[in-house]
Structures are given as structure tokens and as C-alpha cells.
Structure 1
Amino acid sequence: MPSRDHEDTVRRAKALYEARKSRVPIPPFTDTDPGLGMDDGYAVQRELVALLLADGDAVIGYKAGLTSAPMRSMFGVDTPDYGPVLSSTVLADGATVSCEAFIAPKVEAEIVFRLAKPLAGPGVTVERARAAIGEVRAGLEIVDSRIEDWRIGLADTIADLASNGAVVVGHPVPPSPDLDYRLVGMAFSRDGELVATGAGAAAMGDPVAVVAWLANVLGEQGVSLEAGHLIMTGALHAAVPLRPGDTFTAEFDHLGAITLHVGGGGA
């Protein structure tokens, strides 16, 4: 017979699943159970992913969140979090999205890697992670919350696939042994007006370190990063809300520019 804890986990996963479909947010789980922690969030995330995969979706990579020190401080944690990248959420450079396809969407720029070799932790070093990278791309992540008004505790955002909404990936660039990804700069504009800047070092000090961290954390659960997986390494600046009619452009050193258009109505 399932434990009460497991029943609660399944109930929460189903609530998030329905919120994703209806685009009607739900109250934070931590409102009624403030003791929920990281492990509880991941238990719900696993159940939610199982529901989404049963609908025909597929995990094609992973995203890391809370990769900047200020964000970890805000949540009172000393480690990033993660969630899957689902095939249904991946968009190409220049895509147009509708705000109505989300609940409370925001956008942030980040460096994206595509693996040429699998990585299985524990024990994955930054050097080994770098050797497994097959492509580098400019990326935009649309973060969204199925939790009301972004009132998220740590367990809430982890359960909600680390608040992932969609990802936009740019054109592939071959990795360079001479390029220090910590120093890759980025300028982020909305409708031609600069609104944020950042550099690769904002993501755990080195975006390649994010790849190693993911491999090791997932390895503890018997999960490997596979060849072909996309790895979203974390925001290089504070997320910016989407508004109908906006055009966002992130210009990266070495990786080029990537653009996202926001349409009006329609899903």
C-alpha cells in the first residue's frame, strides 16, 4: 500500500500536471507544508516527468537553476537545482511565442552545451565535462511558474521542473579548446534597448562546471547525461518578464546572437 508521503507526492505532481495543461496556477505546496525540502521537490518532479512522458514527451537534456550565488542566497541553499529539458519545449532561434502559452513567463539568456559523449557521475571533473561537449550555442530560457504569483519556495520550483517553460537555442558553434567560457560576455536587449549584461562566470563560476555538477548529481540517482543532450547552464542575468510585442535579443561573444519574438494572443 502506498505511503501517505507517496500519495501526497503523486497528488502534487497531478496538480502541477493539470496546471500546465490549463495554465491556471496553483498555490505553493510550501504554504500548507512549509517543511517540504529539496528531496520532496525532486520526488514530485519525478512523478510529474513520468506523467509528461506518458503523454509522449521526451527528456532531451537538463537545465540547471540557481546557478548564481545571489539566487542561491535568496533561497537559502548552497547548491543549484535542476530539471529536465523536454522535447516539446525546444524552439529555434527567431521563434515567436505567445504569452498566452504560459502563465507568468520571463526570459533569461544563458550558454547552452550539447554533448557529444555521455557523462555518468560520480567523479566527473570539469576537464572531463569539457571534453564531452560537442557544440556550444547561445540560448534563451523562458522560465514560467505553475505556482501562483511566483511565490515559490525551493521545493515548489524544483517540483515544477525548476520553473522551466521553454528554451530557445541558437546555431551550433564548435567548442574551442582555447575559449574560456567563464569570460564569454553577453548583452541582452528588449526592442533594441539594453536591459542586462552578463558573462559565463555567473553560472557557478564556470558554465562547464555546471555540466560536471549535473552529471554528478544525476549520477547519484543512476541517471546519465547522454550524447546529444542539451545542457542549459543557468541565467547570466535577472529574468525579464515577457510582454506581447516584445523582441528579445541576446548577443554573445563567440556564440553570436539569438532572438525571441513575443506575439499577441493565441497559444
Structure 2
Amino acid sequence: MTEKASESMRINMRDVSQAARTMLAAEQSATACPPLTADWSDLDMATAYTIQDEALDQRRQRGETLIGIKLGLTSRAKQIRMGIDTPSLAWLTDAMVLPFGEPLTRTQMIHPRAEPEIVFILKDRLSGPGITAATALRAVGQVYGGIEIIDSRFQDFSFTASDAVADNASSARFVLGPIARAPDGLDLTQEACLLEVDGEVVDAATGAAVQGHPAEALALAANQLAERGISLEPGWIILTGGMTDAVPVPPDTQITARFTNLGATTIAGGTSCPSSK
């Protein structure tokens, strides 16, 4: 490696580390910042994932534990909107878990939005490449309905796909529903969800909205992570992607995701309340 190439790499990693710190600082202070691409116009997806990984390292250094992954942009409509042709991946840590009944602390959020998700808990290790949906589903121990709270750190919720990946796909909090089911006997393609705001249905979808079947999203994640030498581990939580568009969560607004077989979960303005009805 030439001295010039070595210097270029050092500068690039310095930029990556700084970008990760910027994202985490915006998250911790709940203060929106300009998109990274405002000053880094050629930020590509590979570099964005490097920023995401560096941010995970920094999260671990401050005591967070890796507990799984989330997929984003799993619907074709969202991919077209963002100008990409495959879902994005991001990390989940224990700091993102919102337990039943605990408040969604508004001071820790910038502009939170909620989306319903089908959630997997793995019982077996899943390593690509070559993972199919059928293979992926056999590695699943439990299926939940849930709600993910996304909260982009960028001003006006305006960003490119690379910005979003560097921002860990707008990760914030997530709530698992009250009912766990084994995947056997569930038709996740047909598993329906009604998304309600203050008791009024504002959107609806089935599991088919997630890559045709949530297990397809899981297989895609395993194969994509295999390219980076990473496997999905037993016990990991997998958020398979929003079934509907995300809706804002202003104070004093109740958001409910009501599933056919997986119960219902409600997040109310500042609190989350589980329900099995």
C-alpha cells in the first residue's frame, strides 16, 4: 500500500468514526441534525454500513448489548420511494427495548413514528449464504406482533437511503406484543394487522407486505449479513419490517397494532400498554 493510499484510508476511517459519533450524539440529545450527505455527497451504502457498525461498537463501549437486527424498507413501494432495490439492515440493542407498560419518554425522541411488525425470535443459528424462506422459518422459535418506534435523527425527516443506513435505519424503540406463537400453524402471509390511531383504523396490511412473506425478509437478512461474515444467533430478535407506512406518535395519541393471531399492542403518546384483546 502506498503512503498516499494509507493516508486516504486513515482519513476515511476518521470520517466514519466522526459520523458515528454524530449520529449517536443526535440520538442521545434528541436533537435533529443535517443529513450526512449534506457534507458527504458521495456517501455510499457500503460506507454507510461501516458507519452503522462503528456506531454499534460505540454503543457496546457504553454498555449496550447486541440482541438482534431490524429490517427496513421491506415493501417495494418504500424501496422505490428511496431509490433502492433491497431492504436495509440495522442493529438492535437492549437499550431499544420498550417493556410492557413503561412510558415512551418523549424527551428522548425527536419526531417518533410507529409501524406494526411481525417479529421473530430465533431458536437456531442462521448462517448464509443460500438461506431460503423455508430454511429461515425453521430457525424461528417464536413469532410476535409488535410495534417499532422509528425516530430519524435528521432534520425534517429528510434523508437519502445512505443517510438512513448510517443512522441505523432510524432505530429508536420497539415493543413486543403479548402473544407468542410457534411459526407452525401460522399463515404469516395472511396474518393481518389493523393500525389504529385513537381507535380509528388508518391503515391495514398482511404479512405479504413484507417481502411477500416475513420469512423471505429473514432469509434476505441472513444472506446479506453472510457477505459481511456475520450469522444470526439463537435468541436474537428480528424485526422483519414495517407492514404499513409509519404514523406519527404525537403526545396524547394512542397507536394500536391489532393482529389476527398475535394479539394487540398499544402505545399511547408517552406510554406503551400491552393488550391481548
Q: TM-score, normalised by structure 2?
A: 0.92
Counterpart CA distance in 2 for 1:10 and 1:242 is: 31
- Please state if 1:79 is matched with 2:86: yes
Question: Retained in 2: the 8 A contact 1:93–1:260?
Answer: no
Counterpart CA distance in 2 for 1:220 and 1:88 is: 27
Partner of 2:248: 241
Change in 2 beyond 3 A, CA 1:127/1:61: same
DSSP-derived class of the 1:91 partner? coil
- Please state if 1:124 is matched with 2:131: yes
- Identify the range of structure 1 (55-64 vs 85-94) with the bigger mean alpha-carbon deviation: 85-94
Question: Retained in 1: the 8 A contact 2:110–2:151?
Answer: yes
Counterpart CA distance in 2 for 1:64 and 1:234 is: 5
Counterpart CA distance in 2 for 1:184 and 1:172 is: 14
Counterpart CA distance in 2 for 1:69 and 1:99 is: 31
Counterpart CA distance in 2 for 1:182 and 1:175 is: 15
Residue 179 of structure 1 deviates from its aligned partner by 2.2
Runs of 4+ in structure 1 displaced over 6 angstroms? none
Counterpart CA distance in 1 for 2:172 and 2:83 is: 24
DSSP-derived class of the 2:241 partner? coil
Q: How many residue pairs are counted as aligned between the two chains?
A: 264
Counterpart CA distance in 2 for 1:18 and 1:97 is: 19
Change in 2 beyond 3 A, CA 1:22/1:121: same
Change in 2 beyond 3 A, CA 1:168/1:116: same
Question: Retained in 1: the 8 A contact 2:137–2:183?
Answer: no
DSSP-derived class of the 1:8 partner? helix
- Please state if 1:190 is matched with 2:197: yes
> Any residues of structure 2 matched to 1:49-88 within 5 Å, and which?
49-88=56-95
Unaligned segments of structure 1, at least 5 residues: none
Counterpart CA distance in 2 for 1:214 and 1:95 is: 30
Unaligned segments of structure 2, at least 5 residues: 1-6, 272-277
- Please state if 1:169 is matched with 2:176: yes
Percent sequence identity over matched residues? 36
Deviations for 1:97-147, whole angstroms, at most 9, x for unmatched residues? Answer: 132221111000010010111101111111111111100001100000111
Amino acid at match of 2:50: A
Residue 30 of structure 1 deviates from its aligned partner by 1.0
Question: Retained in 2: the 8 A contact 1:19–1:25?
Answer: yes
- Please state if 1:11 is matched with 2:11: no
Counterpart CA distance in 2 for 1:240 and 1:55 is: 31
Residue 7 of structure 1 deviates from its aligned partner by 1.2
Partner of 2:38: 31
Q: TM-score, normalised by structure 1?
A: 0.95
> Any residues of structure 2 matched to 1:93-108 within 5 Å, and which?
93-108=100-115
Change in 2 beyond 3 A, CA 1:101/1:61: same
Residue 73 of structure 1 deviates from its aligned partner by 0.3
Partner of 1:202: 209
Counterpart CA distance in 2 for 1:191 and 1:29 is: 35
DSSP-derived class of the 1:3 partner? helix
- Identify the range of structure 1 (34-43 vs 61-70) with the bigger mean alpha-carbon deviation: 34-43
Counterpart CA distance in 1 for 2:270 and 2:66 is: 27
- Identify the range of structure 1 (94-103 vs 214-223) with the bigger mean alpha-carbon deviation: 94-103
Question: Retained in 2: the 8 A contact 1:95–1:259?
Answer: no
- Please state if 1:142 is matched with 2:133: no
Change in 2 beyond 3 A, CA 1:166/1:255: same
Question: Retained in 1: the 8 A contact 2:29–2:108?
Answer: no
Amino acid at match of 2:95: S
Q: Please tell me the root mean square deviation across aligned C-alpha atoms, in Å.
A: 1.4
DSSP-derived class of the 2:14 partner? helix
Residue 94 of structure 1 deviates from its aligned partner by 4.2
Question: Retained in 2: the 8 A contact 1:139–1:167?
Answer: yes
Counterpart CA distance in 1 for 2:270 and 2:144 is: 24
Counterpart CA distance in 2 for 1:9 and 1:231 is: 26
The counterpart of 2:264, out of the listed 245, 257, 267, is: 257
Partner of 1:159: 166
